[in-house]
Copies of this chain bind each other. A is one copy, B any other.
Amino acid sequence: MTPIATDVDRPAAIRRALRDLVAERGFHGASMSAVAKEAGVAAGTAYVHYDSKEELVHATYLEVKADLAAAVLDVLDPDAPPEARYRTIVRAVYRHLREEPARARFLDQLEVSPYRAEAKRRLAEQGDPLGEQAAAADVAARLVDVPMEVIWVLAFGSLVRLVAAGVELSDTELERVADATWRAITTP
C-alpha cells in the first residue's frame, strides 16, 4: 500500500487538516475520519500522536497562536514608542492571518466554542508573548480604564473576525482600522 514516508511531519499535517476543516465546515464537519482523509493518513494515525480529538484541537490552537506570535515578534521593534508598536502588531497580525485565512477562521470558531476556557488555560500555561506585549507598562498607561479583556476584544478580536469573515482591506483601509482600534483602546 502507501509507503511510509518518514520525511513528512504527520502530526503537523494532521493539525493543519483539522485547522482547515474547522475553518471551512466548523467543528461540526471536522470529524476525525475527515481530518485523517484530508491529512492523507489512516483513521488511526491521529491517535498515535494525540490521545483524543480534544487534545488535537488544543495542540492545533497552541500552534496557531504560537505561529501568530512568532510572526509578530519577528517584525516588532521593542524600543519603538507604544503607538508605533501597536501599528506594527496590527499590520503583522492582519498579514499573517490574511496569508492563510483558515488561521483566522479557526481561531474565531475556537474562541467562541466550549473549548475556549480550557484553551485559554493552556495558552496561559505555555505563555503568550503577544498577550505580554499588550500588557507592557508604556502601553498600559495609555489604555482606557476597562477590563483587559475588553481591550483585547476591541483590538484583536475585531481584527481576527474581519479576516475570518473574508473582508478584504487595502493598505489604506488597514491603516484606518489600526487608527480606529488605537483610538478605541486609548484615552483621548
Contact = CB atoms under 8 A, between A and B. Distances in A.
Interface of A: 24-29, 105, 108-109, 112-114, 144-147, 149-150, 153-154, 157-158, 161-162, 164-165, 167, 169, 173, 176-177, 179-181, 183-185, 188
Given A27-B26, A28-B114, A153 B161 contact: yes
B177 A149 contact: no
12 contacts: A28-B114, A29-B114, A108-B112, A112-B164, A144-B180, A146-B180, A149-B167, A150-B169, A150-B173, A150-B177, A154-B180, A181-B184
Identical chains bound together, number:
2
A82 to B, nearest CB: 17
Given A26-B114, A28-B114, A113-B109, A173 B153 contact: no
Nearest to A157: B161
A112 B114 contact: no
A154 B184 contact: yes
Contacts of A154: 154, 158, 177, 180-181, 184
A112 to B, nearest CB: 5
